[in-house]
Amino acid sequence: MSVTDSPAARLQALFEGHRLTPTQRRIAHSMVRRAADVPFLSSVELAELAGVSQPSVTRFAVALGFDGYPALRRHLREVAPAEPAADAGSSNEYQQAVEAEIENLRHLAEALADPRPVERAGRLLAASRPLPVLGLRAAAAQAHGFAYFAAKVHPDVRLLNEGGTMLHDRIDAAVRAGATALLCFALPRHPREVVDTLDYARQAGLTVVTVADSAFAPVAKVSDLLLPAAVGTGLAFDTACAPMLLGRVLLEAMCDDLPQAQSRLEEFDVKAAARGLFVD
């Protein structure tokens, strides 16, 4: 099945072009994540899944142009047919969380069937000197991991993983030094400071590439290129395997546009061996 034929992709297409409220974006995000189940859910079940009220689901359906949720569900059964997900059976909550994360990775694989957005992002990031990488709170680890590896192949990577009044100053400094793009990792719960910083970065002339948990995330409106990768929500704290993997895919795409990437890696290996840096 191609990415354009998947239930998630057809749902995504249904929502595009509509101005949705934050609550409605939350419903849309939940529907995309559970695309196989949604055509079989009642409005009450969808409300529970999204963590909103049942009237919010009804208003969401009306916002999409339907008479109500029953009409939306009938439409979903026509355009996004799918079998109900198999019963979790005897799986415990930890196994279910892992299975949900595996499903997130499957959705990411479907999205990458069209490599053009990632390839475009790779070109933008490779060309930016320096390259600021932003990630606050829950996304700080993703930004740190990307910046750690990117610094091995990119001549000037600047990690922005702490908020505060200096953040805009560091954006200004990157622009003065010649930066043309900024990479942001944005995960729930989305700090208002991230949205404000991305807006500031765009006003400063930077092209914003964002890895976010959903195409309907609050950062979408302040991003020039948004690459979605869902997070797992089955445990007390969200899991972010898909965003992390997408970050590594972006690194690969960036390396493809850095002619000296391979020689830089080989140089690092030689120096690491000389220093006895690693035990293996």
Q: Do 43 and 124 lie in a common domain?
A: no
Q: Do 71 and 106 lie in a common domain?
A: no
What tokens appear for 117 in the block?
């957005």
Position 87 scores a pLDDT of 53
Q: Do 55 and 186 lie in a common domain?
A: no
Quote the domain boundaries for residue 64.
Answer: 7-79
pTM for the whole structure: 0.77
Count of CB atoms situated within 10 Å of the CB of 158:
19
Q: Do 34 and 75 lie in a common domain?
A: yes
Q: Do 14 and 114 lie in a common domain?
A: no
Confirm whether 241 is domain-assigned: yes
Q: Among 30, 46, 79, which residue terminates a domain?
A: 79
Confirm whether 91 is domain-assigned: no
Confirm whether 85 is domain-assigned: no
Position 14 scores a pLDDT of 84
Confirm whether 200 is domain-assigned: yes
What's the rounded Cα separation, in Å, for the pair 38 and 45?
9
Q: What is the per-residue burial (b if ≥16 Cβ within 10 Å, else e) of 23-57?
A: bbbbbbbbbbbbbbbbbebebeebbebbebeeebb
pLDDT in tens, 64-117: 999 999 999 989 888 755 554 555 557 788 888 898 899 889 989 999 999 999
Question: How many Å from the N-terminal Cα to the C-terminal Cα in the chain?
Answer: 41
Q: Among 79, 111, 129, which residue terminates a domain?
A: 79
Q: Do 39 and 174 lie in a common domain?
A: no
CATH of the domain at 148: 3.40.50.10490
Count of CB atoms situated within 10 Å of the CB of 97:
16
Position 10 scores a pLDDT of 78
Q: Do 54 and 159 lie in a common domain?
A: no
Residues of the chain with pLDDT below 50 are 1-3, 84
Position 2 scores a pLDDT of 46
Q: Do 195 and 234 lie in a common domain?
A: yes
Position 6 scores a pLDDT of 67
Q: Is the peptide bond before 188 cis (omega within 30 degrees of 0)?
A: no
What's the rounded Cα separation, in Å, for the pair 207 and 149?
21
Quickly count helices (H) and strands (E) in the chain.
Answer: 12, 5
Confirm whether 127 is domain-assigned: yes
Position 5 scores a pLDDT of 59
Q: Do 166 and 255 lie in a common domain?
A: yes
CATH of the domain at 65: 1.10.10.10
Confirm whether 269 is domain-assigned: yes
Confirm whether 146 is domain-assigned: yes
Confirm whether 89 is domain-assigned: no
Q: Do 13 and 112 lie in a common domain?
A: no
Closest alpha carbon to 10 in 18, 2, 22: 2
Q: How many domains does the chain have?
A: 2
Q: Do 17 and 136 lie in a common domain?
A: no
Q: Among 32, 64, 79, which residue terminates a domain?
A: 79
- What is the number of alpha carbons within 13 Å of residue 52 lying toward its C-beta? 22
Q: Do 59 and 191 lie in a common domain?
A: no
